């Protein structure tokens, strides 16, 4: 797993906006997933890799694949009480976009996890993976 | 906050951008506001409203209410009506929190009676109305029961003793949107939402005890007709929606529409969050049916929360809810798309009206209003920040210019990100208590993001709303206790 790189930035007033970065698609997805976790819980470092889940997603392009991946994290937190981050991921972009790998984390434990936002959804607003000499970046708005 | 050079002022409270403002606009952008609110407006509102103006089948104008602010897809406070044959339906024009809405409840209690019991009351409400991230509801439903909630909305609960016939009469659409079809809802949405009936949620959701001061009455006759009929009267207001159930329905359909749009529907959009489908398509009909399911769950959610409010007041004051005069004034939806009949260019048409962060406000005599409000117009609730209070207004005939839509809240003027840097939750609680507002918050950081400084002046929004002819001010309500999700 690579180090996550994200920061929360100014954005639509009622929502939370972050910019995630990575040298590769895998790093970018990992960073964006970490940002969603950080939006949900006060101290993401306290989320331990106690459980692992396989994940496999396919979409027409990488922007939609990232939206689907983040939506998966939102769903699993709200429906199954799981705080998850990316484990080892593989992202392929060869005409269509596919993600395989695993998510790791644990069930919400109120004694250790201070929940901050009930993230409703990852939105598609302005979501476009951009290439730069430093790698890849994406701006994502979360409805909270 | 740059005023576009192309902005034209049509009258003191109407501002317009002609279709030439951005390529592809089919109709103008029209904002109802005051000069002061225009000066405070996020630049992105103009761009987002222009994107909406370019959607197929839009009728009249892409409208912005006085509390408009930067959102995703549509701006918050955005209203757009679409032709049923040529138009589209867009989850981004409704919001992920489908039928997020407000309920205003009156009581016979006066502030001098409540003041000595306020702490007990707020603590009991905070304990018994689940609020904040990750909370389960207090009514467990199996799949069949939850499907009945989807189809029937608040009436399903009233039939089981969780409310009164009057609650339904005083709820938009009697608490049930026709056209709900559980078959259009994914298993994931069911899984996410089934356990959340009777929960407040988080973000800008809250339950507030408020007082009607004598100086807060703008129209005594309308106030009396709404049951706001005594000095220092205590009322309860709460704001919440369809919870994870609605969020997942919107998520599912945004993704489905994004996959289908370029190839199947043959039109382009400028912002992917404006993903949409023709109203007259299988995809459009499916989303409408699912959205109605979420709207009905939300009406049921607010009905169930009212039941808990009644229980708490009854326990604290030792009288039945009926004896305490606890009655729904009105329950209004904010985030919906509805088929309504409106007069456009001299002819009556059936349109699909999207209201995102906007309130329906029918005028006196409208056939959809109950007998109670035929002479007054529909009660409208504009929720303010937890520091500044809220307004009750009434629908008026001149609201036809906005498809009988009006403002829904103060409108944010500062991002959550920035508010969180400036405000500490503990400190805000202490300051508010000094000012006589008792707050119980599920999340201190969430509370900080909702501080009054993050919002426009609710007084300015309500005043501009009235001056623009969208609805008429009836009363200002002052907060004394707040349960923050």
Q: Residue A93 and residue A24: Cα distance in Å, rounded?
A: 11
Contact A124/B at CB under 8 A = yes
The closest CB to that of B72, out of A64, A116, A123, belongs to A123
* pTM of the predicted structure, to 2 decimals: 0.96
What stretches of B33-185 adopt beta strand conformation (E)? Answer: 58-69, 76-83, 88-89, 101-110
Mean pLDDT of A3-23: 89
Q: Which pLDDT value is given to residue A4?
A: 66
Strand-pair category, B471-484 with B438-441? parallel
Contact A111/B at CB under 8 A = no
pLDDT tens profile B196-246: 999 999 889 999 999 999 999 999 999 999 999 999 999 999 999 999 999
Contact A63/B at CB under 8 A = yes
Contact A47/B at CB under 8 A = no
Residues near B187 by beta carbon (within 8 Å), at least 6 away in sequence: none
Q: Which pLDDT value is given to residue A3?
A: 57
Burial class (CB in 10 A: 0-12, 13-18, 19+), B459: middle
Q: Which pLDDT value is given to residue B136?
A: 85
Contacts of B95 in chain A (CB under 8 A): 143
Q: Residue B70 and residue B3: Cα distance in Å, rounded?
A: 15
Contacts of A13 in chain B (CB under 8 A): 42, 69-71, 76, 412-416, 454
| pLDDT band per the 50, 70, 90 thresholds, residue A1 | very low
* Widest Cα–Cα separation across chain A: 46
Residues 383-442 in B contacting A (C-alpha not used; CB under 8 Å): 412-418
Mutation choice for A interface testing from B251, B335, B421, B446 by most A CBs within 10 A: B251
Mean pLDDT for chain B? 95
Active site positions of B, annotated: 408
Contacts of B358 in chain A (CB under 8 A): none
Residue for token digits 């039928």?
B99
Q: Are B405 and B76 spatial neighbours (Cβ–Cβ below 8 Å)? A: no
pLDDT tens profile B24-53: 999 999 999 999 999 999 999 999 999 999
Q: Are B262 and A63 spatial neighbours (Cβ–Cβ below 8 Å)? A: no
Q: Which pLDDT value is given to residue B24?
A: 95
Residue for token digits 């929720």?
B383
Mean pLDDT of A45-58: 97
ipTM: 0.95
Q: Residue B175 and residue B316: Cα distance in Å, rounded?
A: 28
* Nearest Cα residue to B203 out of B107, B299, B335: B335
pLDDT tens profile B384-437: 988 899 999 999 999 999 999 999 998 888 888 899 889 999 999 999 999 999
Q: Which pLDDT value is given to residue A2?
A: 52
Phi and psi at B266, nearest 5°, equal: 70, 20
| pLDDT band per the 50, 70, 90 thresholds, residue B82 | very high
């Amino acid at each position: 797993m690579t180090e996550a790189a994200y920061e929360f930035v100014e954005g639509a007033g009622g929502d939370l906006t972050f910019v995630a970065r990575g040298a590769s698609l895998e790093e970018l997805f990992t960073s964006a997933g970490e940002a969603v976790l950080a939006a949900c819980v006060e101290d993401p470092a306290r989320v331990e890799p106690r459980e692992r889940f396989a994940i496999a997603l396919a979409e027409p392009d990488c922007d939609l694949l990232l939206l689907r991946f983040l939506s998966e994290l939102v769903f699993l937190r709200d429906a199954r009480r799981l705080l998850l981050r990316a484990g080892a991921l593989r992202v392929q972009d060869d005409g269509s976009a596919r993600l395989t790998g695993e998510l790791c984390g644990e069930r919400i434990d109120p004694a250790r996890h201070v929940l901050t936002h009930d993230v409703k959804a990852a939105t598609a607003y302005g979501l476009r993976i951009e290439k730069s000499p430093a790698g890849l970046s994406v701006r994502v708005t979360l409805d909270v | 906050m740059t005023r576009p050079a192309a902005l034209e002022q049509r009258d003191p409270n109407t501002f317009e951008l002609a279709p030439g403002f951005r390529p592809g606009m089919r109709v103008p952008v029209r904002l109802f506001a005051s000069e002061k609110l225009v000066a405070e407006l996020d630049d992105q509102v103009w761009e987002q409203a222009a994107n909406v103006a370019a959607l197929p089948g839009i009728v009249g104008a892409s409208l912005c209410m006085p509390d408009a602010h930067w959102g995703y897809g549509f701006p918050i406070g955005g209203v757009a009506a679409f032709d049923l044959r040529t138009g589209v339906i867009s989850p981004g024009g409704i919001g992920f929190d489908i039928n997020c809405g407000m309920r205003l409840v009156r009581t016979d209690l006066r502030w001098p009676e409540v003041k000595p019991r306020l702490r007990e009351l707020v603590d009991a409400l905070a304990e018994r109305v689940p609020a904040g991230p990750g909370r389960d509801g207090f009514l467990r439903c199996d799949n069949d029961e939850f499907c009945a909630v989807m189809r029937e909305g608040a009436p399903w609960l009233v039939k089981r003793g969780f409310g009164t016939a009057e609650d339904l009469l005083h709820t938009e659409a009697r608490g049930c949107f026709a056209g709900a079809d559980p078959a259009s809802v994914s298993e994931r949405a069911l899984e996410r939402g089934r356990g959340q009936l009777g929960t407040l949620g988080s973000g800008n959701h809250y339950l507030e005890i408020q007082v009607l001061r004598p100086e807060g009455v703008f129209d005594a006759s309308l106030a009396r007709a709404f049951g706001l009929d005594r000095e220092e009267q205590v009322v309860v207001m709460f704001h919440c929606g369809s919870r994870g159930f609605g969020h997942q329905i919107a998520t599912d359909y945004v993704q489905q529409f994004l996959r289908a749009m370029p190839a199947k529907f043959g039109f382009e959009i400028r912002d992917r969050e404006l993903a949409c489908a023709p109203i007259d398509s299988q995809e459009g009909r499916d989303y409408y049916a699912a959205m109605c399911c979420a709207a009905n769950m939300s009406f049921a959610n607010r009905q169930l929360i009212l039941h808990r409010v009644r229980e708490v007041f009854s326990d604290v004051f030792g009288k039945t809810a009926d004896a305490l005069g606890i009655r729904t004034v009105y329950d209004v939806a904010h985030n919906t798309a509805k088929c309504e009949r409106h007069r456009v260019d001299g002819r009556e048409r059936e349109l699909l009206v999207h209201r995102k962060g906007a309130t329906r406000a029918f005028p006196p005599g409208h056939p959809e209003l109950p007998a109670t409000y035929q002479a007054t117009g529909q009660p409208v609730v504009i929720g303010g920040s937890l520091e500044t209070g809220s307004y009750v207004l009434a629908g008026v005939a001149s609201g036809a210019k906005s498809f009988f839509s009006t403002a829904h809240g103060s409108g944010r003027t500062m991002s959550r990100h920035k508010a969180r840097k400036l405000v500490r939750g503990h400190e805000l609680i202490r300051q508010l208590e000094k000012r006589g507002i008792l707050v119980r918050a599920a999340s201190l950081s969430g509370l900080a993001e909702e501080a009054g400084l993050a919002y426009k002046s609710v007084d300015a929004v309500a005043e501009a709303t009235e001056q623009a002819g969208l609805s008429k001010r009836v009363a200002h309500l002052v907060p004394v206790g707040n349960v923050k999700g």
